[in-house]
A = this chain, B = another copy of it.
Amino acid sequence: MLQGISSEAFVLGCSAIGAGLALIAGIGPGIGQGIAAGYGAQAVGRQPEAKGDIIQTMLLGQAVAETTGIYGLVIGIILLFVRPLMGAL
């Protein structure tokens, strides 16, 4: 190939953009978990004696909220390191 972008380069370049896009999913858990933290802190202020139960519930709910952020991270890592699309070229 004398000039221009190779097919491999095009797929890899788009994979870099795709990986970055997938990480944007992290917006959601960031907002949601912060809201949970806010309500948790407020609840602890009102019922300090229930602090253990409140934090336990907060962390359990936050763990569920984290999942879609991890989905984005996993797809990003697959695009950068596994590169399944290169095998189909």
Contact = CB atoms under 8 A, between A and B. Distances in A.
Interface of A: 1-48, 50-51, 53-62, 64-73, 75-81, 83-86, 88-89
Protomer copies: 5
Q: SS class of chain A's interface: helix, strand, loop or mixed?
A: helix
Contacts of A37: 32-33, 35-36, 38-39, 57-58, 60-62, 64-65
A34 B37 CA distance: 9
25 contacts: A1-B3, A5-B6, A9-B11, A15-B85, A18-B21, A19-B79, A20-B20, A20-B24, A20-B79, A25-B69, A27-B28, A29-B30, A30-B65, A35-B35, A35-B36, A35-B37, A35-B38, A36-B61, A37-B62, A38-B61, A45-B47, A48-B50, A62-B64, A71-B76, A81-B84
